[in-house]
């Protein structure tokens, strides 16, 4: 995924599961790789969480992500997260099409400061049933 070409294909478009699918097909790579490339190139402010066997193992964020992330490693995902819905569904796909991006609150994954207000975010999960993993992508609405 050459940087210049990837930026050309992804820039100026809203981040959506459809964009990720397009990029993965365009560059003949996995959906997960396309998400990670978007994050590392900071094309969109994203937070990406890796979950294995129902536990958050690690997370990363693009450099333009400006929100304080809750301490969430080594514990299950938040109770109001889409990731937990997938875990409870035994990692089966529960959302399709435009419903893959589910609306959540900023406070689901982010800590709110004294003067912060909660706002609408999206969460898009990429489950892998065989390995009991989820890559959860979070971004602001």
Contact indicator for 122, 104 with CB cutoff of 8 Å: yes
pTM (2 decimals)? Answer: 0.94
> What span, in angstroms and rounded, lies between the C-alpha atoms of 85 and 69?
20
104 pLDDT higher than 90? yes
Task: Count the domains in the chain.
Answer: 1
CATH number at residue 80: 3.30.450
pLDDT at 17: 97
pLDDT at 114 exceeding the cut of 90: no
CA distance 89 to 83: 10
- Percentage with pLDDT > 70 across the chain: 100
- pLDDT(46) > 90: yes
Please say if the pLDDT value at position 43 is more than 90. Answer: yes
Dist. CA 17–CA 123, nearest whole Å: 10
29-39 average pLDDT score: 97
pLDDT at 36 over 90: yes
DSSP string across the chain? --HHHHHHHHTTS---HHHHHHHHHHTT--HHHHHHHHHHTTSS--EEEEEETTEEEEEEE-TT--SPBP--TTSPPPTTSHHHHHHHTTT-----GGGGEEEEEGGGTB---TT----EEEEEEEEEGGGTEEEEEEEE-
pLDDT, average across residues 22-45: 97
Domain that holds residue 51: 3-140
């Amino acid at each position: 995924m050459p940087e210049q070409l990837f930026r050309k294909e992804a820039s100026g478009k809203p981040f959506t599961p459809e964009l990720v699918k397009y990029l993965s097909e365009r560059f003949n790579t996995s959906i997960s790789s396309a998400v990670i490339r978007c994050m590392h190139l900071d094309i969109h402010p994203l937070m990406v969480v890796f979950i294995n066997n129902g536990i958050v193992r690690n997370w990363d964020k693009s450099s333009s992500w400006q929100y304080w992330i809750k301490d969430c490693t080594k514990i299950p995902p938040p109770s109001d997260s889409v990731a937990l819905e997938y875990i409870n569904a035994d990692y089966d796909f529960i959302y399709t099409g435009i419903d893959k991006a589910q609306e959540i609150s900023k406070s689901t994954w982010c800590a709110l400061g004294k003067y912060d207000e909660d706002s609408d975010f999206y969460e898009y999960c990429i489950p892998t049933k065989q390995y009991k993993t989820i890559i959860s992508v979070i971004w602001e609405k």
